[in-house]
A and B are shown apart, each in its own frame.
Chain A
């Protein structure tokens, strides 16, 4: 998978780059409007991470440019602007997703995965990973041939962990992902713990290895040896 990150904050770009590299994404970086435009001309990408305020121009104009050039890559807009109008505007101009700063890199990875799945593998909505098979369309999970019945939150959690497999995902990132606006409810970390506990139990009960490792005080890690196949 090839990604282009267009973001003028170099430290942020570097973080995104190194985090995504661990997920086997090949990343190109551009630090300005002009540079981004050049890279779009020469390279072909599966997904573009785009900041709105760039030196030399507005990120949204790049979206228009891509539309004219018929670039098919999925675009995630990252911006400090968090009003609904900004989001709607970004999505109307051709963004596929809109992520407000400050975000968790785990969230960004999950969304990139989701966009690439949508764009690249239309109709094939099944993720097979080790013993697990996740059907994204029906939102069903199977361990081998057995159905695992998950609640909505558990399913969302599993998908999030799979997107960030073999990486530590903090409990804050999980809480933000599961509850979005309501994540700041005092004890949402207790909920994270109880959801993880339930999910782990259901997976193990259905014959899966114990994929989810707890890292005390930090978060959780979905450990799986086999590389993901998208059937």
Chain B
């Protein structure tokens, strides 16, 4: 849910409650005030009636003026304290029945007790309070509508720079060149946010490049000492008079140098792919490339007694030719290396996807980790565990989705182009 929607939801809820409350309050208050007023006027009328009776010794005529109605009746019980009642017996001149309020009291006149009832209609108060309630409700509705419209246009515009910043961040990649551009705006908070984000992203990118550069340089610089070690060993082994033990030592050292050079070359390659040094892409007929690569491996497969099924449909893709070559090399090598004599490799190419399946004595690999660096399912110190992470890096830079699946004893590596 968007921030504005959240804001609106809470805002409107509170506002509505507030207005309903204040509506109820003003309704009750207005009514009470008016009722008091009415009651007071009834009391003053009672005083006037009492005065009249004392002065003239006659009951007031039951005429009604100023909406005031006075009615008298003879009673034997005096009303000790005057009391107020609601009545619906107020009848206007034109015969309409209305709710009213009446004050009942008694007077003594000529040894007779009279119960006097003065009543006034409540109609006026009802109208006023209804008007107040109506006004309040109308105000609520009007305010909510106006606020909704205002939020929609005004607040949306206010937050626009923020969404533009979000958008810029969404497109931010560590390995793309050039600083992130944030739209300029005149809201201080957003400007500060943008400034800070700019600093953070620039620094992150700088660090990332330094790290990449370091990896590349380190791998590069390793090559020369490795060459020296290997050349020294090459010269050393030419001497004839080694004991068996010395030969073993030398062979182990030689093997380790070979592994180390493979490792540093793989790391260098990874760094180069990450640095976008293979950026030029071209249209490639993948089926042709796979056929060519398969024929290169045929001899090796023959030696390993591995059979191969090739099933290709024409598929044209756009990617870097060198990367594709490395990708296929790695995949085919893997399928070969983890195979066993009498095994099988199946390569199929469909519209938009490529799949390489191989038999293997190894158990299923962890699909989550299989493409990560230095992942080794079985203890195999001969390999550096970088082959599939190179595959993953190539996929990442070429917009290919790789996936791994173990099914019916087959390791399946699938690749999807979108």
Interface of A with B (CB < 8 Å)? Answer: 9, 11-12, 15-16, 18-19, 22, 80-84, 100-106, 153, 167-168, 170, 172-173, 179, 181-182, 184-187, 191, 194, 215-219
Closest Cβ of chain A to B131, distance in Å, is 87
* Contacts A19-B231, A172-B255, A187-B304; A12 near B237 (Cβ below 8 A): no
B272 interfacial contact with A, CB 8 Å: yes
In the complex, chain B residues whose CB is within 8 Å of the CB of A182: 296-297, 300, 329, 333
Among residues 229 to 283 in chain B, which have CB atoms less than 8 Å away from a CB atom of chain A? Answer: 229-232, 234-235, 237-238, 244, 247-248, 250-251, 254-255, 257-258, 261-262, 265, 268, 272, 277
Chain B residue nearest in CB terms to A152: B299
| A80 in contact with B251 (CB, 8 Å) | no
- Central interface residue in B230, B231, B277, B303, by most chain A CB within 10 Å: B231
Q: Which of B230, B235, B382 contacts A102 (CB 8 A)?
A: B230
In the complex, chain A residues whose CB is within 8 Å of the CB of B382: 186
In the complex, chain A residues whose CB is within 8 Å of the CB of B221: 80
Q: How many contacts between A and B, using CB within 8 angstroms?
A: 99
Among residues 192 to 230 in chain B, which have CB atoms less than 8 Å away from a CB atom of chain A? Answer: 220-221, 223-224, 226-230
B322 interfacial contact with A, CB 8 Å: yes
Closest Cβ of chain B to A29, distance in Å, is 14
In the complex, chain B residues whose CB is within 8 Å of the CB of A80: 220-221, 223-224, 227
Closest Cβ of chain B to A51, distance in Å, is 9
Which applies to chain A's interface (DSSP): helix, strand, loop or mixed? mixed
Q: CA of A216 to CA of B238 in the docked complex: distance in angstroms?
A: 14
| A170 in contact with B237 (CB, 8 Å) | yes
Chain B residue nearest in CB terms to A195: B303
In the complex, chain A residues whose CB is within 8 Å of the CB of B251: 217-218
| A217 in contact with B228 (CB, 8 Å) | no
- Central interface residue in A18, A168, A186, A187, by most chain B CB within 10 Å: A186
| A12 in contact with B255 (CB, 8 Å) | no
Q: Which of A15, A82, A84, A179 contacts B234 (CB 8 A)?
A: A15
Q: CA of A216 to CA of B272 in the docked complex: distance in angstroms?
A: 39
Among residues 269 to 325 in chain B, which have CB atoms less than 8 Å away from a CB atom of chain A? Answer: 272, 277, 296-297, 299-300, 303-304, 322
| A102 in contact with B223 (CB, 8 Å) | yes
Closest Cβ of chain B to A109, distance in Å, is 10
* Contacts A184-B262, A217-B248; A167 near B238 (Cβ below 8 A): yes
Chain B residue nearest in CB terms to A179: B300
| A22 in contact with B228 (CB, 8 Å) | no
B337 interfacial contact with A, CB 8 Å: yes
Q: CA of A40 to CA of B268 in the docked complex: distance in angstroms?
A: 34
- Interface size of B by CB at 8 A reads 44
B336 interfacial contact with A, CB 8 Å: yes
Q: CA of A79 to CA of B286 in the docked complex: distance in angstroms?
A: 32
| B223 in contact with A186 (CB, 8 Å) | no
B369 interfacial contact with A, CB 8 Å: no
Beyond A12-B228, A105-B230, A187-B337, 16 additional contacts (C-beta under 8 Å) are: A9-B224, A11-B232, A12-B224, A15-B232, A19-B231, A80-B227, A101-B226, A101-B227, A102-B257, A153-B299, A170-B237, A184-B262, A185-B300, A185-B337, A186-B380, A186-B383
* Contacts A11-B228, A82-B265, A182-B297; A101 near B223 (Cβ below 8 A): yes
Closest Cβ of chain A to B341, distance in Å, is 10
* Contacts A105-B235, A191-B303; A172 near B258 (Cβ below 8 A): yes
| B238 in contact with A215 (CB, 8 Å) | no
* Contacts A168-B237, A191-B303; A185 near B227 (Cβ below 8 A): no
Q: CA of A71 to CA of B234 in the docked complex: distance in angstroms?
A: 31
| B303 in contact with A217 (CB, 8 Å) | no
| B231 in contact with A105 (CB, 8 Å) | yes
27 residue pairs A–B, Cβ–Cβ below 8 Å:
A12-B227, A12-B228, A15-B228, A15-B231, A15-B234, A18-B235, A22-B238, A80-B223, A81-B220, A101-B226, A101-B227, A102-B223, A102-B226, A102-B257, A104-B234, A172-B258, A179-B300, A181-B329, A182-B296, A182-B297, A185-B336, A185-B337, A186-B337, A186-B380, A187-B337, A217-B248, A217-B251
Q: CA of A186 to CA of B297 in the docked complex: distance in angstroms?
A: 14
In the complex, chain A residues whose CB is within 8 Å of the CB of B322: 84
| B333 in contact with A185 (CB, 8 Å) | yes
Closest Cβ of chain B to A185, distance in Å, is 5
| A184 in contact with B300 (CB, 8 Å) | no
In the complex, chain B residues whose CB is within 8 Å of the CB of A187: 304, 337
| B234 in contact with A105 (CB, 8 Å) | yes
